[in-house]
């Protein structure tokens, strides 16, 4: 079944991760040699089709952001491969990787800290244009900035304003405009709306969706907010302690959650209707997430899983729950 799971990730993809692994040294001996490792991500495999959104969910510290940072070359993976339209970009030198870096951008979590308060909005948006020399002269630069601001719902005359003169939502629009300045094809949105008020969140999500349709962007959408992920994503991966435990199309996973961890995670989302409230049963997990330093052998969730038994001390296999829906749990053996 692992082969079948892998084969699914190979079909029709734009960006593919194969066995991505990231271990950071946790402690070292007197000679500076690592003696233990933080397993931030282990054997993470997925594929995102062109123009679609892959949602990544899981508790804080599960490795979601680490995966995004490996794709963007902020972290060099300690194992595994990244394929961009079939090309293995993992082992490229920084110079060879540069054209791909240009096509892959990031929208950060916090629009307050990610904007330099001393720069005007127009110069912030133009930073990537300058870095990659994408404008022949100042007039072309200004024209590009104006177009990006309009695309992101900002007035061009705001280009001379400083970050503190904008609202939270407008600042996130500046961040998105800056991310789009290199004409990217792939955007990692890392908790991109988490710092915003709920009403503003909806506006930014709608903007991201409109831009995706217009520019055929592919998104990796990392969030702890399952309702937002449900709204924006075509496919989803659920991560626990550095590993994927469930993967599928958004609708199959949402309708038919299979992994005990996914069930607990979704049970914590707020219900909006009286019927939903009545149906909803909160699954409370006991214990804390174990340390990512030397994580438990076998199923990493077994210390908190209500169904755990002796068999869970072995590494669980991948199983197909239905078409385009996979789970890593021995309950499906
Ligand atoms: Fe629970 Fe065992 Fe399944 Fe892990 S493999 S989720 S411990 S039943």
Question: How buried is residue 30: exposed, middle or buried, by Cβ count under 10 Å (0-12/13-18/19+)?
Answer: exposed
Percent above pLDDT 70 for the chain: 93
Q: In angstroms, what is the span from residue 312 Cα to ligand 1's centroid? A: 6
Query: How long is the chain?
Result: 333
Residue 304 CA to residue 287 CA, distance in Å, equals 6
Beta strand 186-190 with 104-107: parallel, antiparallel or unpaired? parallel
Residue located nearest, by CA, to atom 6 of ligand 1: 329
CA angle, corner 259, sides to 255 and 261, nearest 5? 105
Show the DSSP H helices in 181-269 as ranges: 198-215, 226-232, 250-255, 260-267
pLDDT band at 113 (very low <50, low <70, confident <90, very high): confident
DSSP annotation string for 279-329: H----PPPSPPPPSBSPPSS-TTTTT-TT--GGGGSPPPEEEEETTEEEE-
Would you identify the CATH topology of the domain 3-317+328-332? Rossmann fold (3.40.50)
Q: Which residues pair with 27 in a beta bridge?
A: 36
User: Could you report the per-residue pLDDT of 41-84, keeping only the tens digit for each?
Assistant: 999 999 999 999 999 999 988 999 999 999 999 999 999 999 99
Query: What is the CA 132 to chain-centroid distance, rounded?
Result: 25
Q: Which of 312, 321, 327, 333 is the pocket-test mutation for ligand 1 (most atoms within 8 Å of CB)?
A: 312
Ligand 1 atom index nearest CA of 330: 5
Ligand 1 atom index nearest CA of 307: 8
Q: In angstroms, what is the span from residue 328 Cα to ligand 1's centroid? A: 8
- The confidence score (pLDDT) of residue 223 equals 94
Task: Name the residue ranges covered by the structural domains of the chain.
Answer: 3-317+328-332
- The confidence score (pLDDT) of residue 160 equals 97
User: Could you report the per-residue pLDDT of 214-261, keeping only the tens digit for each?
Assistant: 999 999 999 999 999 999 999 999 999 999 999 999 999 999 999 999
Residue 175: phi, psi to the nearest 5?
-60, -40
User: Could you report the per-residue pLDDT of 139-153, keeping only the tens digit for each?
Assistant: 999 999 999 999 999
């Amino acid at each position: 079944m692992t082969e079948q799971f892998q084969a699914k990730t190979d079909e029709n993809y734009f960006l593919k991760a194969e066995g991505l692994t990231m271990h950071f040294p946790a402690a070292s001996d007197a000679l500076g040699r690592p003696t233990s490792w933080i397993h931030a991500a282990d054997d993470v495999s997925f594929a995102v089709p062109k123009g679609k959104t892959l949602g990544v969910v899981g508790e804080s510290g599960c490795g979601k952001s680490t995966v995004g940072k490996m794709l963007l070359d902020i972290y060099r993976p300690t194992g595994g491969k990244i394929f961009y339209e079939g090309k293995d970009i993992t082992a490229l030198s920084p110079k060879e990787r540069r054209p791909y870096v240009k096509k892959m951008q990031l929208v950060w979590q916090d629009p307050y800290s990610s904007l330099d308060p001393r720069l005007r909005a127009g110069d912030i948006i133009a930073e990537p244009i300058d870095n990659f020399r994408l404008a022949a002269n100042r007039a072309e630069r200004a024209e590009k900035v104006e177009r990006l601001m309009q695309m992101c719902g900002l007035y061009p005359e705001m280009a001379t304003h400083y970050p503190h003169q904008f609202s939270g939502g407008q600042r996130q629009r500046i961040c998105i405009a800056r991310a789009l300045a290199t004409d990217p094809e792939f955007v990692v949105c890392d908790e991109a709306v988490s710092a915003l008020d709920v009403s503003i969140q909806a506006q930014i999500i709608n903007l991201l969706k409109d831009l995706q349709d217009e520019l055929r962007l592919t998104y990796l959408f990392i969030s702890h907010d399952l309702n937002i992920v449900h709204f924006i994503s075509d496919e989803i991966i659920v991560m626990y302690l550095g590993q994927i435990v469930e993967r599928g199309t958004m609708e199959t996973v949402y309708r038919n959650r299979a992994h005990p961890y996914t069930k607990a995670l979704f049970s914590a989302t707020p219900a909006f209707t009286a019927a939903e409230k009545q149906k909803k049963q909160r699954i409370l997990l006991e214990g804390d997430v174990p340390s990512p330093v030397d994580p438990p052998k076998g199923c990493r969730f077994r210390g908190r899983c209500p169904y755990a038994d002796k068999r869970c001390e072995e590494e669980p296999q991948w199983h197909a729950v239905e078409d385009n829906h996979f789970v890593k749990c021995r309950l499906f053996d």
